[in-house]
Amino acid sequence: MLLKYNTARLQLPKRRDDRYIPLRLVYRGCENAVKIGYKIGHRTPWMQPHYFNPSAYSVEKGKVILVVAGKGIGKTNLMRNIIQAYYRTTKNPIVAFQEKRGDLDFNRSPSLNQIREAGIERIRLAPPDGCASPQRYLVPLKESESREEIELKIPLAELDYSTIAEYFGKRMSSTVAGLVLERVWQSRDNHITIQDLVDAVENELYRFQDDPYFNTMVLHVKRFIELLRMDQLLEVNKAKTVHGYIHPEQINIVDLSDLGDIDIKRFVVAQMLKMVERAYKRQECFIGITESHIYAPETGEFEAKREIIRLVTVLARSYGWTVFLETQSPDALERIVVENADEIYVLGYVQRSKLTRLVRTASVKFEGFIDIFYKVVDNIPKGMGVYGSAVDPMNPYVVRIQLSPVG
């Protein structure tokens, strides 16, 4: 019954003076750790602050954070808390993928009533030098010019031939024309822009003029070039790189809300992860992915899934990346991803059937602890749940995440 007593006391403190709550400006890299909530554990039966401190994780010591919660329970609030904490404690690049427009908006702050009720500080993230905002939106398929967003197009130079062949859904490499394209694509200088690709292909096709299937090869190549020109997600006319989209000091938010096709979303996520890896190899950064079971499901084989598995098994460990994954369906998530999670949050009520794989394969011993938590707490408030870390896997905590002071 100790857990019942502790969880009943797990209430956020309120300010004594509600008449004046100052707005504090916070710059990048000015703090060592940021409080994101409160926790109670087996060894500490009293309430203690729960901190996020990325400075303790460097190259070869990256971490993977997995958050499991139902709709409207606090997954995105926790993501905003951790992103703003990462912003306040480091100067590393931040890239986050959002499914719903406006979820990750770090220019707004909670209302005064919410601040008084939650007892949190009221802050505003200071934008980097030369920037008007701490964040930037990258939007594929931009529709309106009035929105203050950057149109995201995947540069042609950043694409591998196998990726573009899979994206178009055609096995071009099975034809002689496909073999010619694949050979041309091996040199990055040959596909910086569409004109560079056309010139390189023409020089290569010149060698096959005496081939009886030469006209068919030319036809296949022309169709492939036209597909590249027509695609709205690809930047083929300008020589761009990842540095033209990802700002090293701002919070880079890739907005996928306008993309209705899951395959297109997976393509954008996979390519952005590849681009970030090329640009920030062995440099600490933050990667956040919402609804991660869409991009790394248990079944199926595609580029986004392979990139996320590489992200949690290799890149986070080797490069010192902080990887944040949230999901409503842990049972649908790739097993390797669950096994490699260093910190796990289970917020609110989640069906036991969905938690079966998580409990069995996670690096934290949740057996029994979640059962006691569900029996004791009848009405679990928003943002409250169970937290465990691979650093201390035998001692999970009851945790309450506070309202994010920004976003």
* Contact (Cβ atoms closer than 8 angstroms) between residue 200 and residue 225: no
| CB atoms closer than 10 angstroms to residue 112 | 11
**Which are the contacts of 191, defined by CB distance < 8 A and separation ≥ 6?**
156, 157, 159, 184, 185, 197, 200
Give the Cα separation of 67 and 345 in Å (integer).
5
Q: Is 16 helix (H, G, I), strand (E, B) or coil?
A: coil
Give the Cα separation of 119 and 82 in Å (integer).
18
Report the pLDDT value the prediction gives residue 350, as an integer from 0 to 100.
80
C-beta pairs of 364-373 under 8 Å, 24+ apart in sequence = 364/388, 364/389, 364/390, 364/393, 364/396, 365/393, 365/394, 365/396, 366/396, 369/396, 370/346, 372/3, 373/3, 373/7, 373/398
CB burial class (10 A; 0-12, 13-18, 19+) of residue 73? buried
Please give the mean pLDDT across all residues of the chain.
Answer: 83
Would you state the structure tokens that stand for residue 302, as one six-digit string?
């595609």
Stretch 157-170: mean pLDDT: 80
CB burial class (10 A; 0-12, 13-18, 19+) of residue 393? middle
Report the pLDDT value the prediction gives residue 88, as an integer from 0 to 100.
92
Residue 161 phi/psi, 5-degree rounding, is -65, -40
Give the Cα separation of 121 and 310 in Å (integer).
37
Give the Cα separation of 317 and 255 in Å (integer).
27
How far is C-alpha 156 from the geometric centre of its chain's CA atoms?
A: 23
Q: What is the pTM of this model?
A: 0.86
Q: Is 347 helix (H, G, I), strand (E, B) or coil?
A: strand
Residue 187 phi/psi, 5-degree rounding, is -95, 125
Lowest-confidence region among 81-85, 86-90, 173-177, 244-248: 173-177
Report the pLDDT value the prediction gives residue 56, as an integer from 0 to 100.
67
Residue scoring higher pLDDT (298 or 60): 298
pLDDT at 3 over 50: no
Stretch 202-206: mean pLDDT: 84
Q: Which CATH topology does 2-152+245-401 take?
A: Rossmann fold (3.40.50)
How far is C-alpha 97 from the geometric centre of its chain's CA atoms?
A: 5
Residue scoring higher pLDDT (146 or 72): 72
The CA-based angle 133-139-141, given to 5 degrees, is 150
With pLDDT > 70 as the criterion, what percentage of the chain qualifies? 89
Give the Cα separation of 89 and 123 in Å (integer).
14
Report the pLDDT value the prediction gives residue 10, as an integer from 0 to 100.
46
Give the Cα separation of 314 and 80 in Å (integer).
25
* Contact (Cβ atoms closer than 8 angstroms) between residue 286 and residue 94: yes
122-140 core/surface letters (b: 16 or more CB in 10 A; e: else)? bbbbebbeeeeebbbbbbb
Residue scoring higher pLDDT (112 or 17): 112
**Which are the contacts of 260, defined by CB distance < 8 A and separation ≥ 6?**
none
pLDDT digits (tens, 9 = 90+) for 276-326: 998 888 788 999 999 899 999 988 888 889 999 999 988 888 888 899 999
Whose CA is closest to 286, among 260, 316, 331? 316
